[in-house]
């Protein structure tokens, strides 16, 4: 192995240390965790995981989170597709201003919107539903999706559109049958980012739910405060929140870097 | 971007996006604006107050303090994460299976829910049972982030570096990969050293992605809430109470709607202004 690779190896080891610590604790009882400093668990226990998979308040949290993340990803990407096409191909009244206005919503601190969101979604009777969180997360995911998709679409030569037009394809047929498959990689990356930012966000998700649609992350904070610190259980729940992310990364690993540069490389 | 056809019907394409975002952005924003100029004693009765709350917030030491802390925090993490991320991206392999392995591992912190990141570091840094705290104390540092402001700052910054440096790495790496091999060969023929290659080939090519990296890191670090809140709860004392932690305290803790709304708007305007400068810079780069 090349000497040069020492830097990335050290970096990855440092990244993994806190994650290892969390995973380690998830296999220990709370008493053992609090008792002594230990580099690895003396007796491995699966009780924490069994508790999570058998207690509905815990596993429902995962379903709730995955539900709103899924709905949000679908809404964001399908609304952003035509819009990104318009931004990449056409000039129209106020296009540049609109594009910047969309981006400003990516910049709005969620803390600013927490309270009005609560009132808005209570007013339209969506409070405590996965739909409320899914719609609220559109605030920052749609601008991001438009931004990334626009970058990918601008990479596709316009001749493709013109050839299809000359060949007599109606626009929608061209868009669905030819254009979308051409930028499939871009759509994959966009979905990854929508998934990611919706999955990791907690402030809005917590504000907009109480019982029925409580996300897993909120279940964790509330359990911590009601029944004392059940560290082992919290660690197991935390470990399980890493898994969907790791799974998604694996599928889009080749496009991640390009997506982070928002398709503009 | 500029040989686009003019098409007035394009507005129909962007309509769903505008509708969804406007529903989420304009109505809450107007609510905030309403609160910011009124006083209420409950029961939905409001009195006009003009700019009183804005004056109060802008003149309060508390706001100055948390804004100051926020600026210092954002400044520190940008000056650590950007150079570090570029340095790591430069040493990453360019081809082969190791690329995927590196990318998958490096992207992992980015996909962990923010409160889990906070909780994870909360325990990881404890002096008695956490690896970081235990290690620091056993090599002779007096370290306890729950008691000492300096330790709390160190932990918060380290956590953010751990969490987000990978974003800079991935972006810089994407920029580096877009440099054709021919450039490096030409540099080799000219006898250019590593520094010259970096200064005249790699850095200019990375300029655009680095602007995006800095923009994203600025926005997200300026809005940081969940991780430090879970890690330190803003303490010890107020030492790690950043702007959005303070805002949530005022809005939901004390339920002072007027000052909280005024603070929200000032906060939003600061983010907007800085982001606009970056955005203009970015678009200028793209024009070239």
Measured in whole angstroms, the distance separating CA A135 from the mean position of its chain's CA atoms is: 14
Q: Which of A3, A4, A14, A18 to mutate to test the interface with B (most CBs of B within 10 A)?
A: A18
pLDDT digits (tens, 9 = 90+) for A107-140: 777 776 777 888 888 888 888 888 999 999 998 8
pLDDT value for A261: 58
| DSSP annotation of A5 | G
Answer whether B158's CB lies under 8 Å from B74's CB: no
Answer whether A190's CB lies under 8 Å from A153's CB: no
The larger pLDDT score, comparing residue B134 to residue A42, is at B134
**What is the CATH classification number for the domain harbouring B172?**
1.10.3720.10
Q: Considering CB atoms only, which of A138, A146, A257 is closest to B170?
A: A257
pLDDT digits (tens, 9 = 90+) for B21-34: 888 888 888 888 88
Q: How far is A149 from chain B (nearest CA, A)?
A: 13
- Strand, coil or helix: A44: coil
Q: Is A134 on the interface with B (CB under 8 A)?
A: no
List all residues of chain A from 151 to 190 with a beta carbon under 8 Å from chain B: 154, 158
Region B36-46: mean pLDDT is: 69
pLDDT at B141 over 80: yes
Of the ranges A55-64, A251-260, B9-18, B161-170, the best mean pLDDT one: B161-170
- Paired sense of beta strands B38-40 and A90-91, if any: unpaired
Confidence class of residue A264 from pLDDT cuts 50, 70 and 90?
A: low
The larger pLDDT score, comparing residue B212 to residue B287, is at B212
Contact A265 B175 (CB under 8 A): yes
DSSP letter for each residue of A55-114: -HHHHHHHHHHHHHHHHHHHHHHHHHHHHHHHHHHEE-TTHHHHHHHHHHHHTS-HHHHH
Rounded Cα distance between A245 and A200, Å, is 9
For all residues of chain A together, what is the average pLDDT? Answer: 83
First to last CA, chain B: 12
pLDDT value for B79: 95
pLDDT digits (tens, 9 = 90+) for A63-105: 889 999 999 999 999 999 999 999 888 888 888 888 888 888 8
CATH topology of domain A55-260: MetI-like fold (1.10.3720)
pLDDT at B288 over 50: yes
Rounded Cα distance between B204 and B198, Å, is 9
B174 contacts on A by Cβ (under 8 Å): 257-258, 260-261, 265
pLDDT value for A265: 45
Q: Considering CB atoms only, which of A18, A86, A238 is closest to B13?
A: A86
pLDDT value for B153: 92
Name the pTM for this structure: 0.85
Q: Is residue B89 part of a domain?
A: yes
Q: Is residue B43 part of a domain?
A: no
pLDDT digits (tens, 9 = 90+) for A202-224: 888 888 888 777 888 777 766 55
β-sheet bridge partners, residue A91:
B6
Confidence class of residue B192 from pLDDT cuts 50, 70 and 90?
A: confident
Q: Is residue B10 part of a domain?
A: no
Contact A265 B4 (CB under 8 A): no
β-sheet bridge partners, residue B48:
B38
The larger pLDDT score, comparing residue A144 to residue B281, is at A144
ipTM exceeding cut-off 0.90 for this assembly: no
Answer whether B118's CB lies under 8 Å from B229's CB: yes
Q: Is residue B44 part of a domain?
A: no
Q: Is A262 on the interface with B (CB under 8 A)?
A: yes
A87 contacts on B by Cβ (under 8 Å): 14
pLDDT at B87 over 50: yes
Tokens standing for B135? 């290690």
- Name which of A55, A21, A5, A88 is nearest A220 in CA terms: A55
pLDDT at B75 over 50: yes
Q: Indicate the range of A31-45, A67-81, B193-207, B229-243 predicted with least confidence.
A: A31-45
Helix (H) and strand (E) counts in chain B: 13, 3
- Paired sense of beta strands B38-40 and B5-6, if any: unpaired
Q: What percent of chain B has pLDDT over 90?
A: 11
* Domain span holding position B183: 61-250+266-287
Answer whether A220's CB lies under 8 Å from B114's CB: no
Rounded Cα distance between A205 and A217, Å, is 9
Region B87-106: mean pLDDT is: 83
Q: Considering CB atoms only, which of A11, A86, A106 is closest to B10?
A: A86
Region B48-69: mean pLDDT is: 81
Region B92-115: mean pLDDT is: 83
| DSSP annotation of B4 | P
Number of separate domains in chain B: 1
pLDDT at B77 over 90: yes
* Cis amide bond preceding B236, omega within 30: yes
pLDDT at A230 over 80: no
Tokens standing for A177? 């049958």
For all residues of chain B together, what is the average pLDDT? Answer: 83
- Name which of B74, B280, B88 is nearest B171 in CA terms: B88
Tokens standing for A132? 């409320």
Q: For chain A, which residues make up each domain, given as ranges?
A: 1-45, 55-260
pLDDT value for B214: 87
pLDDT digits (tens, 9 = 90+) for A238-247: 888 888 888 8
Helix (H) and strand (E) counts in chain A: 14, 1
The helix or strand, by DSSP H or E, that contains position B48, with its residue range, turns out to be strand B46-48
Confidence class of residue A25 from pLDDT cuts 50, 70 and 90?
A: confident
Q: Is residue B3 part of a domain?
A: no
Q: Considering CB atoms only, which of A79, A262, A265 is closest to B16?
A: A79
pLDDT at B135 over 80: yes
Residue A246 CB contacts under 8 Å (≥ 6 apart), including other chains: B104, B108, B111
B124 contacts on A by Cβ (under 8 Å): 17-18, 21-22
């Amino acid at each position: 192995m090349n000497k040069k690779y020492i830097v990335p190896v050290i970096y990855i080891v440092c990244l993994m240390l806190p994650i290892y610590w969390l995973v380690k604790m998830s296999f220990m009882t709370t008493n053992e965790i609090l008792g002594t400093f230990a580099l690895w668990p003396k007796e491995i226990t699966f009780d924490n995981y069994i508790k999570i998979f058998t207690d509905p308040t815990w596993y429902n949290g995962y379903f709730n989170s995955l539900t709103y993340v899924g709905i949000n990803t679908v809404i964001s990407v399908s609304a952003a597709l035509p819009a990104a096409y318009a931004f990449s191909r056409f000039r129209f009244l106020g296009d540049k201003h609109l594009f910047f206005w969309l981006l400003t919503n990516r910049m709005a601190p969620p803390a600013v919107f927490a309270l009005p969101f609560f009132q808005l979604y209570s007013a339209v009777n969506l409070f405590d539903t996965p739909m409320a969180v899914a719609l609220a997360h559109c605030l920052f995911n749609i601008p991001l999706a438009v931004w990334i998709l626009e970058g990918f679409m601008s990479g596709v030569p316009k001749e493709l559109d013109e050839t299809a037009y000359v060949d007599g394809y109606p626009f929608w047929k061209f868009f669905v049958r030819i254009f979308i498959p051409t930028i499939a990689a871009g759509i994959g990356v966009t979905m990854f980012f929508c998934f990611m930012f919706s999955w990791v966000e907690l402030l809005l998700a917590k504000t907009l739910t109480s019982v029925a649609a409580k996300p897993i992350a909120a279940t964790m904070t509330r359990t911590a405060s009601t029944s004392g610190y059940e560290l082992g259980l919290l660690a197991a729940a935390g470990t399980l929140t890493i898994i969907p992310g790791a799974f998604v990364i694996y599928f889009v690993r080749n496009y991640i870097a390009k997506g982070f540069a928002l398709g503009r490389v | 971007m500029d040989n686009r056809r003019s098409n007035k019907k394009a507005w129909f394409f962007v309509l769903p996006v505008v509708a969804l975002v406007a529903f989420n952005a304009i109505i809450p924003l107007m609510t905030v604006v309403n609160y910011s100029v009124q006083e209420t004693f409950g029961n939905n009765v409001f009195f006009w107050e003009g700019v009183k709350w804005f004056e109060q917030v802008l003149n309060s030491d508390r706001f100055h303090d948390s804004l100051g802390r926020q600026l210092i925090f954002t400044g520190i993490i940008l000056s650590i994460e950007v150079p570090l991320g570029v340095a790591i991206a430069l040493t990453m392999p360019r081809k082969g299976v190791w690329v995927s392995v590196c990318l998958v591992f490096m992207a992992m912190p980015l996909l962990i829910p923010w409160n889990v990141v906070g909780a994870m570091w909360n325990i990881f840094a404890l002096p008695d049972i956490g690896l970081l705290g235990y290690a620091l104390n056993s090599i002779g540092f007096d370290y306890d982030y729950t008691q000492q402001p300096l330790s709390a700052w160190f932990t918060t910054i380290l956590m953010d570096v751990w969490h987000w440096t990978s974003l800079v790495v991935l972006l810089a790496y994407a920029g580096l990969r877009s440099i054709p091999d021919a450039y490096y060969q030409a540099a080799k023929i000219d006898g250019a050293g590593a520094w010259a290659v970096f200064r005249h080939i790699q850095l200019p090519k990375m300029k655009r992605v680095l602007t995006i990296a800095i923009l994203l890191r600025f926005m997200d670090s300026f809005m940081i809430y969940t991780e430090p809140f879970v890690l330190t709860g803003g303490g010890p004392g107020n030492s790690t109470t950043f702007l959005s932690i303070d805002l949530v305290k005022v809005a939901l803790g004390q339920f002072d709607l007027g000052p909280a709304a005024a603070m929200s708007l000032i906060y939003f305007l600061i983010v907007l202004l800085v982001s606009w400068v970056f955005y203009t810079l970015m678009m200028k780069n793209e024009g070239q």
